[in-house]
């Protein structure tokens, strides 16, 4: 009997590890996340383990990228200082659990917005900061110039636990091609295996392909096929159930995009306070009481633009100037032929 109890205890101890949620009750009135963030003095942000252009740490541990800039914008809005962010690198597998179990407050990790993720597992997507699509990379000398050239038996390397795995199946099934999926947990292993010749093609979001191509031993021997087989709207995610925090993150991102639309940059933001355009004045906090609606002061959006810059500046700094994707493609403003279109801040 005692032996059984001892065994039971060890089983329970194992389960205890599983259920290490912190006890907390629902935020009754104000946003609990906002309160906690202001108390701690930093924004807790989940990012990738290293995807150039989106979230990547340099040798000194400084994070840069368009995903990183979303978190910096929130820090500038809420805490007044864009550098007050604590970054947590997460694998694709860990990311949602880290968010729902309260380890981080924003997940800004090139995450695709889908119905099941939004509705089913306690998450809320707040917007899109990069419109992406899945593509294929192949060796230039393979003679494959289109996705229609793939033949049955093709082996495809990719990341574990992403929408990529599902799209790949849909795509090859629709073509009636039997394929071999080789899925790794980390992007570095995918690159190494593809580089060694384990796979005929490497498939993931096109931005990812462009960023990872630089890591191959001979980047010039490889190319990304022109076709895009899926829609991958990537954007920041927050926990479900804190609508104030959700609004803050959403409008921090929207502010960056709208600032570009009105030509407000980090350099000229202060001088825009005296602009003739009321929309611009609202954007830099010189008119209206928009900050109060979010539980913030009225300079919140001005700080975002001054400290982080508008979306165009962020894109140029992180993605275009680094040679990853110089062409903005769909990630151009709606006024310039792209699909970036945000609701007005008023």
Partner 1 sequence: MNFKKILPQLLTLVVVILVFGFFSYNAQVNMENRGITFGYGFLSQESSFDVQFSLIEYDGSHSYFRAYLVGLLNTILVSVIGIVFATIIGVIVGIARLSSNYLIERTAAIYVEFFRNIPLLLQIFFWYFAALRALPLPEKAEPIFGVFFLTIKGFFVPAFVWNNLDIFIYSVIAAIVAIVFVRLYAKKKQENQGIQTPVLSISIGLLIILPLLSFLLGGVDATVEIPVIEQLSQTSFTYKGGLKLPPELISLALALSLYTATFIAECVRAGVQGVSKGQKEAAASIGLTPNQVLKLVVMPQALRIIIPPTTNQYLNLTKNSSLAAAIAYPDLVLVFAGTALMQTGRAIEIVSITMLTYLTLSITISIFMNWYNKKIAIKEK
Residues that bind partner 1 (CB under 8 A): 1-2, 5, 8-9, 11-12, 14-16, 18-19, 21-26, 92-93, 96-97, 100, 116-117, 120-122, 138-139, 141-144, 149-151, 153-155, 157, 160-162, 165-166, 168-170, 173, 179-186, 189, 192-193, 196-198, 200, 239-241
> How far apart are alpha carbons 193 and 98 in whole angstroms?
28
Q: Is the Cβ of residue 118 or residue 297 nearer to partner 1 in the bound state?
A: 118
The bridge status of strand 123-125 relative to strand 222-224 is unpaired
* 116 CB-near residues (< 8 Å, 6+ apart): none
222 sits in which H/E element: strand 222-224
Distance CA 154, CA 85 (A): 43
Query: Shortest Cβ distance from residue 49 to partner 1 (Å)?
Result: 14
Of 16 and 60, the one with the shorter C-beta distance to partner 1 is 16
Measured between alpha carbons, how far is residue 148 from residues 70, 75, 136, 172, 174 in Å?
Answer: 37, 46, 11, 10, 11
Question: 139 or 273: whose CB is closer to partner 1?
Answer: 139
CA–CA separation, 346 vs 330, rounded Å? Answer: 26
Burial class of residue 153, CB neighbours in 10 A (0-12, 13-18, 19+):
exposed
Question: Considering the complex, what minimum distance in angstroms separates the CB of residue 5 from partner 1?
Answer: 5
Of 87 and 172, CB closest to partner 1? 172
- Please tell me the total number of residues recorded for the chain in this structure: 346
What does the alpha-carbon distance between residue 33 and residue 43 come to, in Å, rounded to a whole number?
10
State which residue, 114 or 265, has the beta carbon closest to partner 1.
Answer: 114
Strands 179-184 and 154-159 turn out to be: parallel
Q: Which is nearer to partner 1, 84 or 239 (CB)?
A: 239
The minimum distance between CB 116 and partner 1, in angstroms, equals 8
Instruction: Say how far apart CA 146 and CA 251 lie, in whole Å.
Output: 40
> Taking the complex as a whole, how short is the minimal distance between the CB of residue 228 and partner 1, in angstroms?
20
CB of 313 to partner 1, least distance (A): 33
**Cβ at position 230, least distance to partner 1 in Å:** 13
């Amino acid at each position: 009997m005692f032996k059984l109890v001892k065994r039971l205890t060890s089983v329970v101890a194992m389960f205890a590890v599983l259920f290490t949620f912190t006890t907390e009750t629902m935020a009754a009135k104000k946003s609990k996340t906002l309160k906690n963030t202001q108390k701690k003095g930093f924004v807790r942000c989940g990012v990738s383990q290293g995807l150039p252009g989106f979230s990547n740490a340099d040798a000194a541990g400084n994070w840069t990228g368009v995903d990183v800039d979303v978190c910096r914008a929130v820090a500038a809005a809420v805490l007044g200082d864009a550098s007050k962010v604590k970054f947590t690198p997460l694998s694709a597998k860990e990311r949602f659990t880290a968010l729902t179990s309260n380890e981080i407050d924003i997940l800004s990790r090139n995450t695709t917005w889908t119905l099941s993720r939004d509705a089913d597992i306690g998450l809320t997507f707040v917007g899109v900061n990069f419109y992406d699509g899945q593509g294929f990379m192949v060796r230039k000398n393979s003679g494959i110039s289109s996705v229609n050239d793939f033949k049955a038996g093709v082996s495809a390397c990719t990341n574990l636990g992403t929408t990529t795995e599902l799209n790949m199946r849909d795509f090859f099934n629709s073509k009636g091609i039997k394929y071999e999926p080789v899925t790794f947990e980390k992007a570095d292993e995918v690159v190494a295996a593809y580089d060694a010749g384990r796979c005929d093609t490497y498939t993931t979001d096109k931005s990812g392909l462009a960023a990872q191509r630089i890591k191959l031993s001979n980047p010039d021997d490889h190319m990304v096929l022109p076709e895009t087989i899926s829609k991958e709207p990537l954007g920041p995610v927050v926990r479900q159930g804190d609508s104030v925090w959700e609004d803050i993150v959403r409008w921090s991102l929207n502010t960056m995009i709208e600032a570009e639309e009105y030509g407000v940059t980090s350099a000229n933001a202060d001088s825009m306070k005296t602009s003739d355009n009321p929309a611009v004045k609202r954007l830099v906090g010189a008119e209206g009481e928009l900050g109060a609606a979010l539980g913030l002061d009225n300079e919140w959006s001005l700080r975002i633009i001054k400290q982080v810059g508008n979306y165009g500046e962020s894109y140029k700094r992180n993605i275009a100037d680094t040679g990853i994707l110089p062409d903005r493609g769909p990630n151009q403003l709606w006024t310039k032929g792209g699909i970036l279109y945000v609701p007005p801040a008023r």
